[in-house]
């Protein structure tokens, strides 16, 4: 079998900045020069070989995107900063006792392969066919999983979304929260607690970058060279985002843009932002769900009642119901389901998938007013019937759920940026760069 190329969808499952920053993915050449330490990061180091490999991968992906590569010194500074941030986060994870052993790593890789209709062996072959080092890719994914776990523990777990948050977002969204935007983004970061002078300098830098874009320079090229955002090395591409999933300031700015247009500088979390709209699609869509109101009598085997005796009792109750006895009365007297017994066996309106599969199949076969003969599930013997069915509009319910999820994601992203910058400021960083590289870092 000829190996397939690694699909773009696989790479998007990885954190793109980390993919570019830490992937030493080029083939290993026979003649490898002696390595050297470029940066000391706390009790770890970044080697020349790591930077070289990450630079090769960054250049390859920039070329794949059809973006003109920035000056080598600017690209090197961006890639080196990504390596430093990655190293700081994995160190934090290790200090917290987070480990990803080979068994867990193989499960992650197998899932990645399965999502792209490959076996793990086919995935490995595809990686190698694209000129990548599979063993190094494994280690990159191990680091990414560690970072995701420390982020979940120290950032995501602290995010709280209230009903008031949801109400305020829905009130600010206007009529089309489901419209989708494809945006590109540039961030000029401002450290937490920065002075007014630092903020003003960042604002002036953002205004200068915006002017260059308005003068005709390529947005993606400027993002790669100058953005502090996590998608900088992808040209700032945020991919498709629903309006509900964007910060309100971004959503409002995007709604005022036509494709190809660029926003003014936006002051928001983390610093000063510039967004450019590439495309728009979608709009409001009504959501409905078909629900069934069912009822049942459950007869369970127990210490004094065998399974066969439970079946016979269920059959007797079915016959009595067919003869005209009241369902609710018999349910209250005989049912072993504590959740529905006191309501006469009424299970209320439920969407598909709530009940055990065997129960759901039987219910789906009944018309309103019909009863099923006794049947067995893992819980015991049932006599069940359908009272009525309805189609319910869940548009608002779905909208609120999406809004809650969007707010949670947004708050998490904002807190993550703050957390990451704090880790960076607290870390011990010692550069041992050649003079030319050190000069480039200061740009």
Same domain, 95 and 239: no
Residue 71, domain member (yes or no): yes
The pLDDT assigned to 288 comes to 86
Query: Average per-residue pLDDT in the chain?
Result: 86
What integer is the mean pLDDT of 187-196?
A: 90
Contact 213, 277 (CB under 8 A): no
pLDDT score of 329 more than 90: yes
pLDDT score of 354 more than 60: yes
Contact 226, 186 (CB under 8 A): yes
Residue 436, domain member (yes or no): no
Residue 44 maps to which CATH number?
A: 1.10.4030.10
Encode pLDDT of 192-207 as tens digits: 888 999 999 999 999 9
Residue 440, domain member (yes or no): no
Same domain, 342 and 324: yes
Same domain, 324 and 197: no
pLDDT score of 178 more than 80: no
CA–CA distances in Å: residue 294 to residues 114, 359, 393, 431: 38, 10, 19, 69
443 pLDDT tier (thresholds 50, 70, 90): very low
Residue 378, domain member (yes or no): yes
Sequence-distant (≥ 6) Cβ neighbours of residue 273 within 8 angstroms = 185, 186, 187, 188, 206, 249, 250, 263, 265, 266, 267
The pLDDT assigned to 297 comes to 97
% of the chain at pLDDT higher than 90: 64
What integer is the mean pLDDT of 24-37?
A: 54
- Domain hosting residue 128, numbered range: 8-154
% of the chain at pLDDT higher than 70: 88
Same domain, 26 and 121: yes
What integer is the mean pLDDT of 269-283?
A: 89
pLDDT score of 243 more than 90: no
For the chain, how far is it from start to end, CA to CA, in angstroms? 49
The pLDDT assigned to 14 comes to 45
pLDDT score of 436 more than 70: no
pLDDT score of 377 more than 90: yes
Same domain, 320 and 371: yes
pLDDT score of 93 more than 80: yes
Same domain, 293 and 173: no
Encode pLDDT of 400-413 as tens digits: 898 899 899 999 99
29-33, 89-93, 374-378, 383-387: the lowest-pLDDT one: 29-33
Q: How far apart are CA 180 and CA 254, in angstroms?
A: 10
Same domain, 88 and 199: no
Same domain, 19 and 112: yes
pLDDT score of 256 more than 80: yes
The pLDDT assigned to 1 comes to 46
SS3 letters across the chain: CCCCCCCHHHHHHCCHHHHHHHCCCCCCCCCCCCCCEEEEECCEEEEHHHHHHHHHHHHHHHHHCCCCCCCHHHHHHHHHHHHHHHHHHHHHHHHCCCCCCHHHHHHHHHHHHHHCCCCHHHHHHHHHHCCCCHHHHHHHHHHHHHHHHHHHHHCHHHCCCCHHHHHHHHHHHCCCCCCEEEEEEEEEECCCCCCHHHHHHHHHHHHHHHHHHHCCCCHHHHHHHHCCCCCHHHCCEEEEEEHHHCCHHHHHHHHCCCCCCECCCEEECCEEEEEEEEEEECCCCCCEEEEEEEEEEEECCCCCCCHHHHHHHHHHHHHHHHCCCCHHHHHHHHCCCCCCHHHCCEEEEECCCCCCHHHHHHHHCCCCCCECCCEEECCEEEEEEEEEEEEEECHHHHHHHHHHHHHHHHHHHHHHHHHHHHHHHHCCEEECCCHHHHHHHCC
pLDDT score of 96 more than 50: yes
Sign for the pseudo-dihedral over CA of 44, 47, 49, 52: positive
Residue with tokens 């390529």: 218
The pLDDT assigned to 431 comes to 93
Encode pLDDT of 338-351 as tens digits: 999 999 999 999 99
Same domain, 70 and 131: yes
6-20, 115-129, 242-256, 273-287: the lowest-pLDDT one: 6-20
132 pLDDT tier (thresholds 50, 70, 90): confident
285 pLDDT tier (thresholds 50, 70, 90): low
Encode pLDDT of 291-323 as tens digits: 999 999 999 999 999 999 999 999 999 999 999
Same domain, 79 and 177: no
CA–CA distances in Å: residue 87 to residues 42, 43, 302, 325: 9, 10, 58, 72
Residue 1, domain member (yes or no): no
């Amino acid at each position: 079998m000829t190996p397939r190329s690694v699909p773009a969808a696989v790479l998007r499952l990885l954190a793109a900045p980390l993919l570019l920053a830490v992937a030493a993915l080029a083939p290993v050449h026979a003649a490898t020069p002696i390595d050297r330490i470029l940066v000391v990061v706390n009790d770890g180091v970044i080697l020349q070989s790591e930077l070289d490999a990450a630079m090769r991968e960054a250049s390859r992906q920039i070329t794949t995107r059809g973006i003109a590569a920035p000056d080598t010194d600017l690209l090197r500074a961006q890639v080196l900063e990504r390596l430093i941030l990655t190293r700081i986060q994995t160190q934090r994870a290790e200090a917290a006792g987070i480990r990803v052993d080979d068994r867990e790593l193989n499960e992650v890789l197998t899932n990645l392969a399965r999502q792209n209709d490959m076996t793990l062996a086919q995935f490995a072959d595809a990686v190698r066919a694209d000129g990548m080092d599979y063993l190094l890719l494994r280690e990159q994914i191990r680091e990414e999983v560690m970072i995701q776990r420390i982020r979940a523990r120290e950032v995501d777990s602290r995010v709280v979304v209230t009903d008031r948050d949801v109400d305020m977002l829905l009130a600010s969204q206007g009529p089309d929260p489901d419209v989708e935007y494809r945006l590109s983004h540039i961030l000029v970061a401002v450290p937490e607690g920065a002075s007014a002078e630092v903020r003003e300098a960042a604002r002036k830098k953002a205004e200068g970058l915006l002017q260059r874009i308005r003068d005709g320079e390529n947005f993606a090229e400027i993002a790669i060279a100058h953005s502090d955002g996590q998608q900088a090395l992808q040209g700032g591409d945020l991919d498709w985002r629903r309006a509900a999933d964007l910060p309100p300031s971004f959503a409002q700015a995007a709604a005022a843009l036509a494709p190809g247009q660029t926003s003014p500088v936006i002051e928001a979390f983390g610093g000063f932002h510039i967004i450019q709209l590439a495309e728009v699609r979608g709009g409001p869509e009504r959501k409905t769900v078909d629900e069934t109101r069912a009822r049942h009598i459950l007869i369970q085997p127990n210490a004094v009642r065998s399974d066969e005796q439970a079946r016979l009792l269920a059959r007797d109750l079915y016959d009595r119901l067919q003869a005209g006895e009241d369902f609710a009365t018999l349910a209250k007297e005989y049912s072993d389901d504590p959740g529905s017994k006191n309501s006469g066996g009424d299970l209320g309106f439920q969407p598909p998938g709530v009940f055990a599969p065997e129960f759901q199949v039987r219910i789906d076969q009944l018309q309103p007013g019909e009863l099923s003969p006794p049947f067995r599930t893992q819980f015991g013997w049932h006599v069940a019937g359908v009272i009525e069915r309805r189609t319910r509009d869940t548009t608002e319910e779905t909208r609120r759920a999406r809004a809650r999820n969007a707010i949670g994601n947004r708050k998490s992203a904002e807190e993550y940026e703050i957390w990451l910058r704090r880790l960076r400021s607290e870390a011990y960083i010692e550069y041992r760069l050649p003079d030319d590289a050190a000069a480039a870092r200061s740009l």
